[in-house]
Amino acid sequence: MVELAQVMVVTPHPDDAEFGAAGTVARWVRDGKSIVYVVCSSGDKGTSDPNVKPEELVRIREQEQLAAAKLLGVSDVVFLHYIDQALEDTPEFRKNIVRQIRRYQPEIVMAADPYRRYLWHRDHRISGQVTLDAVFPYARDRLAYPDLLEEGLQPHKVKEVLLWATEDPNYRSDITDTFDIKLAALRCHKSQVGDFTRIEQWVRQRAKDMAKGENFELAEAFHRVEIWW
Ligand SMILES: [Zn+2]
């Protein structure tokens, strides 16, 4: 049986989707859209605590991600379990993302912008690039993966990709009414957001900056790619 979702969020690690897109996700859930999260790595290197083992961190961070997703109203969370800081642009990774796209058949896919310059987490860059490639042309093309066809996973055309953390925003999403939900979702990532007062100030200021020139107060900004063919 194929489950469906209107929006797929491909996040490199737990918490990235909350920083980049949770206000928009919460608004869409209110509008009745179904959302799936695909979590590439469970973030097994995301600590400075010498007493926390990677497998323990995976367990904690997956629970945090599930809590944030539940709070936002995300209907499904898929963990791909790649090793943190080890994402590579491989045929296997690309096919895995294609598999999720064909399984859920989203109209919109959200991911980290791979084209942020200079300092940018390699996993963010790689997951964004692989997601774009998976959307087009690999998920779309019938003959790209004959074995997925045999599994019953038909080709799928995504209509739109929204990339967060972009240096080239062309779409600003109004999150004024869902900003508090975004903050609450971020707060679920307790292992990552120690001093939340400082993070809240930073997130709020960014959301204000992203809304500059718009007739709303708080925004998430994306580079939006529409796919016509
Ligand atoms: Zn990350």
45 Cα: distance to centroid of ligand 1 (angstroms): 10
What pLDDT score was predicted for residue 2?
A: 52
- pLDDT at residue 195 in the model: 87
- The environment of the single-atom ion ligand 1, i.e. residues with CB closer than 5 A, is 12-13, 16
pTM for this model (two decimals): 0.96
Report, in this order, helix, strand and coil percent for the chain, each rounded to 5.
Answer: 40, 20, 40
Q: Tell how far the Cα of 32 is from the centroid of ligand 1, in angstroms.
A: 28
Rounded to the nearest angstrom, the distance between the alpha carbon of 121 and the centre of ligand 1 is 7
The strands making up 35-41's β-sheet, listed across from edge to edge, are 76-82, 35-41, 7-11, 108-112, 160-164, 219-226, 171-174
Find the 166 Cα to ligand 1 centroid distance in Å.
14
| pLDDT (0 to 100) of residue 1 | 47
Q: Phi, psi (5° rounding) for residue 10? A: -100, 110
Give distance in angstroms: CA of 68 to centre of ligand 1. Answer: 15
pLDDT of residue 166: 98
Q: What are phi and psi of 40, to 5 degrees?
A: -70, -55
Identity of residue 158: V
Q: How high is the pLDDT of residue 229?
A: 77
Per-10-residue mean pLDDT for the chain, 229 residues long? 85 98 98 97 91 93 98 98 97 98 98 97 98 98 96 97 98 98 97 92 98 97 94
